[in-house]
Amino acid sequence: MIQERPLPTFSPTAVQLSREEGLALYEDMVLGRTFEDKCAEMYYRGKMFGFVHLYNGQEAVASGVIRGAMRPGVDYVCSTYRDHVHALSAGVPAREVMAELFGKATGCSKGRGGSMHMFSAQHRLLGGYAFVAEGIPVAAGAAFQSKYRREVLGDASADQVTACFFGDGACNNGQFFETLNMAALWKLPLLFVVENNKWAIGMAHERATSDPHIYKKASVFNMAGVEVDGMDVLAVRQVAQTAVARARAGEGPTLIEALTYRFRGHSLADPDELRSKEEKEFWLSRDPIKRLGSYLLEQDLVTSQDLKTIDQKIKQTVEEAVVFAEQSPEPAPSELRRYIFAED
Amino acid sequence: MAETAFFNALRAAIDEEMERDATVFVLGEDVGHYGGSYKVTKNLYQKYGEWRVVDTPIAENSFTGMAVGAAMTGLRPIIEGMNMGFLLLAFNQIANNAGMLRYTSGGNFQIPLVIRGPGGVGRQLGAEHSQRLEAYFQAVPGLKIVACSTPYNAKGLLKSAIRDNNPVLFFEHVLLYNLKEDLPEEEYLLPLDKAELVQTGQDVTILTYSRMRHHVLQALPELRQRGIQPEIIDLLSLRPLDWETISSSVRKTHRVVIVEECMKTGGMGAEITAGVMERLFDELDAPVVRLSSQDIPTPYNGTLERLTVVQPEQIVSTVVDLVGGKI
């Protein structure tokens, strides 16, 4: 096991959190976890195909940023190939994400996208991008568009912020550096959210990156950079709120490095033989969902019955999503060529 | 408009569309303060400001991706590739995102994006600046590809490309920017899926595009002198190809010569030849003939460079042999 990097400390005493906000974050994370566990089950039962990359363990990042700091359906979200949970946090109904994984016509990408290509214009989800780092400049384009509407079209209400999620591996790719440069140069309303889960498929972050502290790379671009405990949804929420406020105020982008961990292999096809037992146990003990649950109970914001009620509700939502996906029609063969061009 | 140079026809197209629609903007290397390396965006920066004529850092893949994101969210970007060869560095964003994303998103997003700029074999510019990219991009689903060849069609096609709701790769030729022509005063647009019948004739159909249109026209007097009346078609649209115009011509002439600057292997000519075989085999009196560039990196030396590209005399001899039954 590689020496663990000290995690940034976060004091929850300063957190202003209402019961409703706490429950909303908890529900969003439970939805992400339950949905992904169901995906694994469905994959092994032969209901979904291709590469399926699950998000277990990283829920605090999507929930903390999107649910904790953004306006789902108004602000933009751009994802990676590990995109199911970003889609859910952005507000895409679980049934539409599940139907997409089943390749059905009712899926959010009409069965054309699959696991790595979740899109929803309605929910301002700019998509999952299968090639590492390619979503980063696309997200910058959405942020540029918001800026353009304000500067050129005189639309004062164009205050949307874009959150761009990507992994540690993307931070060694040219598109990361190129886009950080443009975003800082033009002060784009953009959050670069690195989900540093320590591993590419079988390549440890420390073996791929000369300085593993990704957040420090922001300073080169005269940009704010911050590291955060990505297993603590309240810590993520707080840095994201600061970054969103900065973006909306026209002060430019922020690079957020969330230190997190994926509890499963890279994909469901990955035997996951390289990561040590101790390393996995260390991170499993920091489960963000259990952590938030304990915090909410300690603060007397909720009762254990409240949490159980949510667990049950989400379980039902996900079961219904499966039924919906199973019962949905396949895309019609006559529509094979539909959507190649805008006119179709 | 009086006599207008090719680069100014393109500039007028961009200017008119930017004036008409405030969501249209230009981005690329040196398009703003400098006015574009071939002056296609000259002074537009002064007129429209730095947010509508955006000087980008030298980062092709990323500013192309940025344009894709801007197009997905409602703007209409025009990317200038300072040299279209540089866009090989943006291949991922052009192929995976501009080209495929409407489809993979199940119609959630459209990408109204124009990628334009100089390409083709120039004059001793060396291999990297003398490329025929249509061969690489023609296989990408979801892209439209246009190759303009005169100030008139450059302007009308570019205006249509800017208004189209799909990604359009718009090829200009580095050696045509100073070509001049009288243009109509009134506004006009040309369709992105129609070829241009340049010359009617009955002996042979010559299919060409971009700069090679002019080489074919240089060969025309000599062919006429030898009693051959070729039908010359400038394809203009490389994707989709205008099979209606091509087919009606081949049904008349029964012979086809393709004259292209594209590479021979896997080039446009290869695709057109296959298309003619599939659609018009029974109409042919002779095999389709391809006159293409040589499959080599374009050499710097002027003599060698000339040898890589199809020349008018080669067109004459090939057409004479074909019509005379020697091929």
Provide the ipTM.
0.95
Tokens 């199940």 identify what position?
Answer: B106
Residue A3 included in any domain: no
- AA identity, residue A172: N
CB contact under 8 A, A141 and B165: no
Band the pLDDT of A166: cuts 50, 70, 90: very high
Among the partner residues B74, B102, B141, nearest to A145 by beta-carbon distance: B74
Q: What is the CATH number of the domain that holds A240?
A: 3.40.50.970
Coil/strand/helix, residue A120: strand
Share of chain A above pLDDT 90, in %: 95
Strands (E), B74-195: 76-80, 114-119, 144-147, 168-173, 180-182
> Which tokens go with B242?
């205008």
CB A148 within 8 A of CB A160: no
- Is the predicted pLDDT of residue A3 greater than 80, yes or no? no
Q: Which residues touch B147 (CB under 8 Å, ≥6 apart)?
A: B134, B171, B173, B209, B210, B235, B236, B238
Burial category of B153 from C-beta neighbours within 10 Å (exposed 0-12, middle 13-18, buried 19 and up)? buried
Distances (CA, A) of A232 to A239, B169, B264: 11, 46, 59
> Which tokens go with A166?
């990507």
> Which tokens go with B249?
């011509």
Task: Say what the pLDDT of residue B327 is.
Answer: 82
User: What is the span of the domain harbouring residue A199?
Assistant: 16-323
Band the pLDDT of B2: cuts 50, 70, 90: confident
Residue A90 included in any domain: yes
Residue A229 sits at φ, ψ, to 5 deg, of -70, 105
Calculate how close chain A gets to B123, using CA atoms only, in Å: 32
Band the pLDDT of B1: cuts 50, 70, 90: low
Interface check for A217 against chain B (CB to CB < 8 A): the answer is no
The predicted-structure confidence for B33-76, as pLDDT tens digits, reads as follows 999 999 999 999 999 999 999 999 999 999 999 999 999 999 99
Interface check for A344 against chain B (CB to CB < 8 A): the answer is yes
Task: Say what the pLDDT of residue A2 is.
Answer: 55
Interface check for B56 against chain A (CB to CB < 8 A): the answer is yes
Residue B60 bears catalytic tag: yes
Distances (CA, A) of A201 to A53, A204, A268, A342: 11, 8, 11, 36
What is this structure's pTM?
0.96
Interface check for A253 against chain B (CB to CB < 8 A): the answer is no
CA dihedral A35, A40, A43, A47 (to 10 degrees): -30
Distance CA B33, CA B55 (A): 8
Task: Say what the pLDDT of residue A343 is.
Answer: 86
Max CA pair span of chain B = 60
Using a CB-CB cut-off of 8 Å, the residues of chain A touching B109 are 119, 121, 126-127
CB A265 within 8 A of CB A36: no
The H-or-E segment that residue A100 falls in is helix A94-101
Closest CA to A255 of A271, A238, A240, A270: A240
Residue A341 included in any domain: no
Closest CA to B93 of A138, A20, A124, A35: A138
Max CA pair span of chain A = 59
The predicted-structure confidence for B276-306, as pLDDT tens digits, reads as follows 999 999 999 999 999 999 999 999 999 999 9
- Is the predicted pLDDT of residue A1 greater than 70, yes or no? no
The predicted-structure confidence for A234-248, as pLDDT tens digits, reads as follows 999 999 999 999 999
Q: Count how many domains chain A has.
A: 1
Average pLDDT rounded to a whole number, residues B237-255: 98
Burial category of A157 from C-beta neighbours within 10 Å (exposed 0-12, middle 13-18, buried 19 and up)? exposed
Residue in chain A nearest B92 by alpha carbon: A134
Interface check for A112 against chain B (CB to CB < 8 A): the answer is yes
Residue A333 included in any domain: no
Closest CA to A214 of A168, A148, A149, A281: A168
Mutate to test the interface with A, among B24, B88, B104 (most CBs of A within 10 A): B104
Residue A336 included in any domain: no
Burial category of B278 from C-beta neighbours within 10 Å (exposed 0-12, middle 13-18, buried 19 and up)? exposed
Average pLDDT rounded to a whole number, residues B197-219: 98
The predicted-structure confidence for B105-151, as pLDDT tens digits, reads as follows 999 999 999 999 999 999 999 999 999 999 999 999 999 999 999 99
Task: Say what the pLDDT of residue B68 is.
Answer: 98
Q: How many CB pairs (< 8 A) connect A and B? A: 156
DSSP codes joined into one string, A260-313 = ---SS-SSTT----SS-HHHHHHHHTT-HHHHHHHHHHHTTSS-HHHHHHHHHH
Mean residue pLDDT of chain B comes to 97
Residue in chain B nearest A337 by alpha carbon: B103
Interface check for A34 against chain B (CB to CB < 8 A): the answer is no
Domains of chain B: 2-183 (3.40.50.970), 196-322 (3.40.50.920)
Distance CA A65, CA A69 (A): 5
Distance CA B37, CA B225 (A): 41
CB A286 within 8 A of CB A231: yes
> Which tokens go with A96?
């539409």
Calculate how close chain B gets to A193, using CA atoms only, in Å: 17
Coil/strand/helix, residue B198: strand
Strand partners, A164: A78, A192
Q: Which of residues 115-174 of A touch B (CB under 8 A)?
A: 117, 119-121, 126-127, 129-131, 134, 136-148, 151-153, 174
Peptide bond into B240 cis (omega under 30): yes
Band the pLDDT of A12: cuts 50, 70, 90: confident
